[in-house]
Structure 1
Amino acid sequence: MGGDTFNLPVGPSDLCFDTSEFMKESFSADEFLHNYRNAASLEQMRDDLGMYLKVLRNSMIELINADYQDFVNLSAELVDLDKRIEDIRSPIVQLRSDILEVKSMLSGTMNEISECLEKKREIRMKQIASEEIRRLTEKIGKVKDQLSSANENQDSLLNLLERLSLDVVQLEFVVKLHEKHISESMKKDANEIKSLLLEKLKECFLHSIEHHDKKSIGRCLKIYLMLNEIRNAEVTYRQFVVIPKMSNIITESNLQNDPQGLVGIYAKIIEFLETKLSILLSITSSNPNFKDFDFLINSFWTEVEQRIELSMNSIFAPGNPDQFHKKFTSTLSFLDTIEKYAKDSSVIKDHTQYKSFMDKWNLSVYFLIRFQKIGASIETVCSKNLNELFISDQNNFKLEPFLCTINSITTSWSEDVYLPQLFNRFFKLTLQLISRLCTWVDQVLETDKFECDNISQSTYLMMIYLDIVTFMREFPKILETIVKKASKPFVTQRQLLENCFNESKKSLCTRLTQIELKVAQDLIANSAPYLKQVNDIPRLYRKTNREIPTKNCAYVDHTLAATKEFHEKYNKSIGMEKVSQFLINIFTELTDQYYNAITEVLTSVQKTEESLRRLKNLREKGGSGTAAATRQGMSDDDKIRLQLQVDVIYWTNEIETFGITKSQVKKLLELIKFVEDATKIHVADDK
């Protein structure tokens, strides 16, 4: 019954609401009233709700009556329920107590059995240990006797050592396995036997090395490997072969007395490597079983590096950069030779002593000394007076700062200065040198008072201009040198290097533009004053009865003089195209000023002419007895206009001699048309 879904009884059909509304989970009285407020009046809704309430009450009574017997039975069954539960609980608790007691007894019995088994195992282990100890005692005595009575024959001794090495390995295993049951004296005897075996093995090993006996060396290494004494073999070779030789080679006195200096010392070390150590290296590299032996690093390199640090530490002093560079580069060559003999060069480079050795070379101090020397040279040059910077044409440079900069960059990347480990610093120094040169150019451009003997500011600026152009021509060569010097990671980033150089090139190009503007302004300033002489032309022709003009006035030549000189001087050095661009900018500005000056003159002439015409008309109206004589020839004003036209034509022709067309100069065509129209109009008026 509880699992069934309960449905409300259906009410009368004439109710004003739906009875299923009361079963909705979201039922709300307010919402119910809101939904049915228009279905009936409140009085009717009240009556219908009361009617449905009666239906619900009747339904509830029927439901109780239908299940009455079940309710009665449930009440009867609940009587004495606690007593019955307690009757069931008591036996269960007793059963639990009995089970725990049995478990405790079983645990105790099992513990006793385990202890007995453990004691039995201990007894058995002691028996085994006793047997092993007995055998071990016999073996120790046997091995001692054999080692003591070993003859000097190399092959026989090696045969004996190979057999005894197996016994020694077994001894070590037994001692380790039964360590608790073996006495200290017996452990000591076992260690003495191994030491005696290693001593004999050392003698064989050194004898084989001395006589270059590859077969015997291989057998010795095999025994060392069997005894797990690889490190012992490396130490033996270092102590009895490497140290005696290196102690005679690597000394401060040898460094000072050797004609080749450090290079000579390194040559002797490499000679030892090639003549003595190479036989060991060839044996270990050709046999995969010997791959764990590393005599190059653990015997040779560690001793060589340690002795160099202790006995020749003067080589690390960076005070003399030239000597430091020679020693460091020869050291790199020395290390490269050693790395060729290594199984893997990265193993040497990752070795602690290798890193320590490289850290001894104070490259930062070396670079600082180089930086100060190179920087001081260019600073000294840039601090000179401008008239002290002229040089004879060396490398096509005219001023010392540019020659000094290019020489400094070349020096930075030369074989005697550059170090691969300092690539990024030398590259940065190159960019700094170019930046310093740009700063010097800026200082010259910003100079308020130019003080230089026998040379104009524009000429000096053009010398800078030419040197910048020459300097930038060296950029591809410099970049190629840098890329060749770069290590592999930088080579893959060639585009990045080019971008950095392009930024420096842009800086220099910006200075070129500034110089162009400055020089153009200077030339314009020198030429423009002559254009003011256009205002003097009316005085030359008014009431002077001059001939009709056929030649240009002198001011035009004076105005063009500076630009002609500039063209002749720099046409070849910076190229016709660049000079033409210079002159176009200059002529554009001068033509604009020329146009304004001619406009003023022609406007003044026109006003004067109109005034005279009005005055003439007044006189004619005054009834004078004879009219003015007919003007013969060209009037003064016409001559003025014609002179201006002749000057403009000459101006245009001279501009064209520079290879510049009329259309390239702004307002030039407009100026030509302006003077032509002025002359034609006037002639037409005369007619």
Structure 2
Amino acid sequence: MTLESSSRDPFELDRLAEELVSRERLDDDDAPGHDLPIYVPLAHDNPYLTSDVFDVEAFLLSRSHTSLRDLRTELRDYLASLKEELVKLINDDYEAFISLSTDLRGEGARLERLKEPLGDLKTQILESKRELHVIQDAIQEKLEKRAVLREEKALLHLLLKLSESVTRLESLLLITSPEQDDEMQQSPLDDSRPMALNLTEDDRTRGNRAKHLGRVATEYTQLLYHASKARQENCVFVDEIQWRIDRVRSTLSSDLDHLFSSTLIALTDGKADGKISEIEKAKSTADLTECLRTYDSMGLWRDAEDVLRRDVVRRFSIFPGALAAPSSPLVPHTPFRSSTTPSSVAPSSALPPRTPYTPFTSFALKTPFQMNHGLGTAANSPYAHLLDDSEDPLARLYSQILRFVERDMIRIMGIAEKVSLRSVSAGRKDKSLVAALPAEKSNGEAADDGFEIMANVVWEEFGRAIMDELGHVVFAAGRPNEFRKHYETTQAFIRSLEFLAPSAHSVEAMRAHPIFSAFERRWQLPVYFQMRWKEIVGKVEEALSAPRVDLASATDKHSFASTQAAAVWVAISACWSAEVFIPELSHRFWRLTLQLLSRYKTWLSNSLIPDDKAAQVPAEKVTATSTPRSATPVEVPSAENAAAEDSTLRQYATTILDVRSMHMNLLTLWEQEISVMLPEAALEERVNTEETLQQSLAALTATTVSMSSHIVAILTKRCCDALLPVRSISSQFRAMANKQMPKEPSYFVSSILKPVKVFFGIGVGQGPGVSLKEHFLESYATDIFEAVAQRYVYHLTGMKKTEDSLRRLKKGKKSTFSLFGGGAAKDEDGKDEERIRMQMILDVEAFGKDGQSLGLSVDRSESFQSLTEMVHAVDLPDST
């Protein structure tokens, strides 16, 4: 801006005007406008007209700014435009159509001329197609004939292999051929078959018998495979030689059984002197392994188990008088540690006295463990110490069975387990072979593959023998003590036997065996529990038949003061003791525990718990302004009432102590034993079980509330009775000859709270509630002190009102009496009032100190504060 312009417009009005105009223009642009509705004429692109379904309401709403008359006019105009466009389109297309028909004139003849050569071409193509089909059918027929010939040739080769395999097997097993059978029938000189085991040299030596039979079993497996393939083709030849295949199978099975039996006898019995060399032992073990491998490859697991059962296990016989017969030592083939070795089993005295021995956990199914197949396994079993009782004939019998299994069976089971695992991993089991075996070989067992010697041989024989021969002794539930001992010993035997199993699968198979299920059902555990229930509950009911608490004698070794609580605790402890508890009955014993607690609570409710009215504190809860009831007669306690109250105090104190002991002991029993002995369950179920116990204990503890109230009521009454001399202080001071200012509290103050001290045994030796002192002294003393302070206020208020009445009777004299007033009195009555007031102050202070000696905080007592204010008041207000 130049100097000249600035001089003409010193205030820059032009610039300000321009800015104002621009600002108003901007404001007008930003201001919201009121646009009028835009008229949109009807067109082909209108969305309401082009939709698939015409919506009248939506169309009318979109034209809401148009009146119906204008809308009708608009629609008619749009209809006229549509008609005009339609006529235009027809005219344009008609001209094109007319021109097309003119252009195609004469094209029909040309098309007919083009169709003539197409018929000849079609005829030639069809002729060629027929010739190709004929050639194709001829080739296919020749191929089918060649396929049939090929299959027949393969079948003939298969039948030849089948015949050769049968002949070769008969030769290997020294079975006479059909031709030899015919010759022998014509000249029957010797109809006996030479044993395949009586082999001559090379492959016929004793050391190669097992390998020879193994090769024969392999050949037999191939024979069965070929026979199954030929049987699928419905060959009659297979049916004709089936008898020879069956003869081969039976012969091979018989020879294998014979070899297996002789090997078992050589390995388990040894020589006549009981000794066997290591070389012979190794050879026998190798033959045993080869025999088991042959059994496994043929699927004859049950046959091998039958041989074991017949030649080994049944030699250990269990007869009805086995428990009464003298025990004979079972000499092992090789040295092994005895189950009585001190290093293997802890002495019985080292066992916890309260923790029951529970050898019934299913450890083999839930936790993996390492099986030891060496010697001394039974001695290492954690359950062996239960079978060391030399005085128990059943334990001795079980120990002999375990030593027998350990000596003669554990090596065989280990080898069989290894053979089965190897065959499974190699996939060498042929299901068709197993299916080809006769039905009678299964012996009713489950069709599981592999050896199950522990389940089908060891347990089946010994379990059935125990049930059949010793069942009347072992399973006799009529004698609960012997039954419990037999059950524990038998379960220890079963777990020790499981410890000898070669694998966890063997343990599972043993527990799934029908004999095991039948064996477990023979235990009449409900009958045993019923007898224990009668025994336990009978003693408790006998103790609870008394209507009052019976103090336990000093010779009883338990923490309960009454015989009733001791009987309930003994019953609960017996449920979980080693002499009574059985894990399979844990839920029933748990229910009985809760029932015993409920029965004890019911007895307390019916016999000891006082009525609510009797438990009320007899002291009147009055304040300094309440009206005294001087006309109410005071009940003088008699000797009988005092004795009855003393008995009640002892009863209730003993019961409260026993309930607390029951609560603590049961919680300890739950943590240390019950929670461990109950079966494993989900966390939520275990929490619910513990909550149930807590609820039962809470209900039992709740019964002591009324007892505590009644104890407080009796002690409060006695303390208030000791407070009665406070009413005669005024008359005593007025009648005294030597009227001096008091310096000590009254004689009765020290005896006000004495009933509390006597009850808790404070400074007076033993009291009925000395055991409750630690937990109940503060609460009891607080309630009693508060009630006594209220009664103290009541007596002082009554004294003041009595003096006021006497003062009003003195006519013509100015009332200058103030029991606790501080006014200067010059006459003798004023001096008496001052001495009475000082005596009251000393008594109240001594009463407070006595309460503090009980551990109370008297400053927090509202009644005591009111009492202190009353005796220190300058002038007590008139309440009339």
**Common fold, TM-score beyond 0.5?**
yes
Q: Distance in 1 between matches of 2:809 and 2:779?
A: 45
Contact 1:133 1:182 in 2 (8 A): no
CA spacing shift, 1:163–1:525, aligned 2, 3 Å: same
Contact 2:719 2:753 in 1 (8 A): yes
Q: Which residue of 2 aligns with 1:273?
A: 405
Please state how far the C-alpha of 1:462 moved relative to its aligned partner. Answer: 0.7
Partner of 1:386: 548
8 Å Cα contact 1:461/1:519 also seen in 2: yes
Q: Is the 8 A contact 1:541 1:636 kept in 2?
A: yes
* Per-residue CA distance 1:120-166 (angstroms, 9 max, x = gap): 46643563355345424633542353772542763253354334333
**Are the structure 2 counterparts of residues 488 and 142 from structure 1 closer, same or farther at C-alpha, using a change threshold of 3 Å?**
same
CA drift at 1:47? 6.6
Task: State whether residues 140 and 190 of structure 1, in contact with CA within 8 Å, keep that contact through their aligned partners in structure 2.
Answer: no
Q: Which residue type is aligned with residue 486 of structure 1?
A: M
* Aligned residue type for 1:207: S
Secondary structure in 2 matching 1:319: coil
Question: Which has the higher mean CA deviation after the structures are superposed, 177-186 or 589-598?
Answer: 177-186
CA 1:342–1:133 in structure 2 vs 1: closer, same or farther (change >3 Å)? closer
Q: CA deviation at 1:565?
A: 1.6
Pairing partner for 1:560 from 753, 757, 762: 753
> How far apart in 2 are the matches of 1:194 and 1:115?
39
String of CA shifts for 1:196-230, please: whole Å, max 9, x gaps.
22222222212222222212212222322333323
The residue number in structure 2 matching 1:351 is 512
Aligned to 2:499: 340
2:394 maps to which of 237, 245, 262: 262
Deviation of 1:322 after TM superposition, in Å, equals 1.1
Identity across the alignment (%)? 20
Aligned match of 1:305? 463
Partner letter of residue 676 of structure 1?
A: H
Distance 1:347 1:392 in 2: 56
Relative to structure 1, the CA distance from residue 185 to residue 527 in structure 2 (aligned partners, 3 Å threshold; closer, same or farther) is: same
Q: Report if the CA contact (8 A) 2:159-2:230 is conserved.
A: no
Normalising by structure 1, we get a TM-score of: 0.79
Equivalent in the alignment of 1:128:
157
Give the whole-Å Cα distance in 2 for the aligned partners of 1:374 and 1:100.
103
The one-letter code matched in structure 1 to 2:286 is K
Match of 2:566 among 400, 403, 407: 403
Q: Is the 8 A contact 2:463 2:519 kept in 1?
A: yes
Q: Deviations over 1:386-425 (max 9, x none)?
A: 1655543632422111111222222222211122333343
Query: Which residue of 1 is the match for residue 798 of structure 2?
Result: 600
1:209 aligns with 2:264: yes
Letter of the aligned partner of 2:297 in structure 1?
M
Q: In structure 1, what is the equivalent of residue 714 of structure 2? A: 522
Q: Deviations over 1:552-609 (max 9, x none)?
A: 5566566434223213225752335632331121111121122122123223324543
- Find the residue that maps to 2:812 and give its secondary structure: helix
- The structure whose RCO (Cα within 8 Å, separation 6+) is larger is 2
TM-fit CA distance, 1:277:
0.7
Alpha-carbon distance in structure 2 between the residues aligned to 1:346 and 1:378: 47
Q: Which moved more, 1:114-123 or 1:406-415?
A: 114-123
Q: What is aligned with 2:575? A: 412
Partner in structure 1 of residue 422 of structure 2: 289
Which of 229-238 and 521-530 deviates more? 521-530
Measured at CA, do residues 435 and 123 of structure 1 come closer, stay the same or move farther in structure 2, by a change above 3 Å? same
For 1:646 and 1:296, how far apart are their aligned partners in 2?
93
The residue that corresponds to 2:237 in the other structure is 182
Q: Distance in 1 between matches of 2:669 and 2:127?
A: 100
Matches of 1:445 and 1:268 in 2, distance apart? 59
Unaligned runs of 5+ in 2: 1-37, 176-192, 200-204, 268-283, 327-390, 425-449, 616-639, 762-766, 816-824
- Greater helix fraction, Structure 1 or Structure 2: 1
Letter in 1 for 2:813: K
1:630-664 CA-partner distances (Å, limit 9, x unpaired) = 72364555555444444323322332333334225
Question: More deviation in 632-641 or 474-483?
Answer: 632-641
Among 172, 179, 200, the residue aligned to 1:143? 172
Deviations 1:346-396 (A, max 9, x none): 542442333442233233332333233222221221122316555436324
DSSP 3-state at the match of 2:753: helix
* Counterpart amino acid of residue 458 in structure 1: L
> Counterpart of 2:93 in structure 1: which amino acid?
D
Q: What per-residue deviation string (whole Å, max 9, x for no partner) do you get for residues 539-559 of structure 1?
A: 545678784574655665664
CA distance 1:279–1:415, shift in 2 (3 Å): same
Q: How does 1:259-658 map to 2 (within 5 A)?
A: 260-285=392-417, 288-289=421-422, 292-314=450-472, 315-345=474-504, 347-349=506-508, 350-353=511-514, 354-386=516-548, 388=550, 390-392=552-554, 394=556, 395-447=558-610, 455-475=646-666, 477-482=668-673, 485-486=676-677, 489=680, 499=691, 501-531=693-723, 534-540=726-732, 547=739, 550=742, 556=749, 559-568=752-761, 569=767, 572-576=770-774, 578-609=776-807, 612=810, 615-617=812-814, 631-632=827-828, 634-638=830-834, 640-658=836-854
Residues 46 and 170 of structure 1: CA distance in aligned 2, closer, same or farther (over 3 Å): closer
1:553–1:647 contact (8 Å) kept in structure 2: yes
The equivalent residue for 1:20 is 43
**In structure 1, what is the equivalent of residue 277 of structure 2?**
none
Secondary structure of the 1:252 match is: coil
Contact 2:727 2:799 in 1 (8 A): yes
Change (3 A) 1:165 1:506: same
TM-score between both structures, scaled by the size of structure 2: 0.63
1:199 aligns with 2:254: yes
Distance 1:263 1:110, change over 3 A: farther
**Is residue 61 from structure 1 mapped to residue 87 from structure 2 by the alignment?**
yes
Secondary structure, in 3 states, of the residue corresponding to 2:561?
strand
Deviations 1:6-48 (A, max 9, x none): xxxxxxxxx9862338833267777777777877995x77777
How far is the alpha carbon of 1:530 from its aligned partner?
4.9
Return closer, same or farther for 1:48/1:505 CA change in 2, 3 Å cut-off. Answer: closer
1:49-128 to structure 2, matched below 5 A, reads 54-70=80-96, 120=149, 123-124=152-153, 127-128=156-157
| Alignment check: 8 A CA contact 1:570 1:579 kept | no
Distance 1:664 1:253, change over 3 A: farther
Partner of 1:6: none
For 1:142 and 1:125, the matched residues in 2 are separated by 25
Provide, for residues 235-274 of structure 1, a one-character-per-residue CA deviation record: whole Å limited to 9, x for no partner: 21112322342xx22x332135566332122122112101
Q: Give the SS at the match of 1:343.
A: coil
Q: Deviations over 1:418-469 (max 9, x none)?
A: 2233334334433433333233222334356999987521221011122223
**In the TM superposition, what is the alpha-carbon distance from 1:280 to its structure 2 partner?**
0.7
Letter in structure 1 aligned against 2:503: D
Give the conservation status (yes or no) of the 8 Å contact 2:652–2:707. yes
Alpha-carbon distance, 1:329 to partner: 0.8
Return the alpha-carbon distance in structure 2 between the equivalents of residues 103 and 644 of structure 1.
144
- Contact conserved, 1:420 with 1:485, CA < 8 A, in 2? no
Task: Give the Cα separation in 1 of the matches to 2:296 and 2:228.
Answer: 19
Q: Which amino acid aligns with 1:404?
A: A
Count of residue pairs brought into register by the alignment: 639
